[in-house]
Structure 1
Amino acid sequence: MKPVQTLALSIAFAFAATSAVAADKVTTVPVKFAKGASSATMKGSFAGYDSVHYTLDARAGQTMTVTLAGSSNANFNVFAPGDAPGAATALGSNADRGWTGKLPKTGTYTVQVYQMRASARRGEKVPYTITLSIR
């Protein structure tokens, strides 16, 4: 392959990779419970490789419950304070559309709502309802 063709091909691949990453939208939603409440329910939707990150503060030893309804393409992962989607192992995920677990640390937890690659690749729209509870 000629150097000019190699350079053009390299630029095309770099642009394609950058375009794919730039299109992924991450929306962060801070969760605050109403006074006296220990849970909150939110509705939302996203499409493709986009995701929604719900953040909420909790103390070590408390129990978090996450339930997810809506599209069967909606999935979630729960991350401990200091851990991030794609960079750490999730504490829990949506086995049977819900998860309950005792929290190991005090701080801000992240609940990532997303869809698997096969449906994301098709750009499917994902409506969902999520309930987050801390006790």
Structure 2
Amino acid sequence: MSRRTAVFGAFLGLVTLATPLLAQSTSDVRFEAGNYGTMVNGAIIGDEYIDYRLGAKAGQEMFVELNVTDSNGNGSVFFNILPPGSDGLAIYNSSMDGNSVTQALPTDGTYTIRVYQMGNDSDTGKTSGFTIDLSIQ
């Protein structure tokens, strides 16, 4: 390997590390007229993650409950709640605090529910189906 190739490879690696992670899938969640909640269904593969976005106001409460419906692994599926403008810092992390929460919302804006797998399921490309019961009041 030439020195030029090695330097370019190292540069490419640094650029890749500096690039923020983007969700492989992003969906805007909307409630039907007159409803304050909905069910979301999905599936996650390996180390990907899925972002579900919805608007809310400061002082409202968001209820999120994630259930694994099927998996060819251990079903290690979790979610984070990211506040408006977050660069990945969560106000709730279900891998630490459980897959059901009623979270008070601190500011107006678009919140993101980021669904992901951890551990062996993430590392070995396992697939897990899930449902999310979601409401804002």
TM-score bin (small chain)? 0.7 to 0.9
- Taking the TM superposition and a 5 Å limit, the aligned residue runs for 1:75-90 are 75-85=78-88, 89-90=89-90
CA contact (8 A) 2:50 2:116 kept: yes
> What CA distance in whole angstroms lies between the structure 2 residues aligned with 1:123 and 1:12?
26
Q: Secondary structure at the match of 1:120?
A: helix
Deviations 1:70-106 (A, max 9, x none): 1531110001111132xxx211122231111110000
Q: Using the alignment, how far apart are the partners of 1:25 and 1:60 within structure 2?
A: 25
Q: Which moved more, 1:25-34 or 1:105-114?
A: 25-34
The answer as to 2:56 corresponding to 1:58 is yes
CA distance in 2, matches of 1:55, 1:75: 16
Q: Classify 1:110/1:25 alpha carbon distance in 2 versus 1 (closer, same or farther; 3 Å).
A: closer
Which residue identity does 1:93 align to in structure 2? N
Structure 1 unaligned spans of 5+: none
Residue 32 of structure 1: aligned partner: 30
Runs of 4+ in 1 over 6 A off after TM superposition: none
Output the TM-score relative to the length of structure 2.
Answer: 0.78
Q: In the alignment, is the contact (CA less than 8 A) between 1:49 and 1:117 conserved in 2?
A: no
Cα distance in 1 between the residues matched to 2:63 and 2:108: 16
Asked whether 1:93 is paired with 2:90, we answer: no
Query: 2: CA distance between counterparts of 1:45 and 1:121?
Result: 16
**Residue identity (%):** 31
The CA RMSD measured in Å over matched residues stands at: 2.4
Provide the residue aligned with 1:41 in structure 2: 39
Q: Which residue of 2 aligns with 1:74?
A: 77
Q: 1:128 aligns with which of 124, 127, 130?
A: 130
TM-score, scaled to structure 1: 0.79
Mapped contact 2:64–2:132 kept (Cα < 8 A): yes
Q: Distance in 2 between matches of 1:84 and 1:41?
A: 26
Change (3 A) 1:112 1:36: same
* Unmatched 5+ stretches in structure 2: none
SS in 2 for 1:118: helix
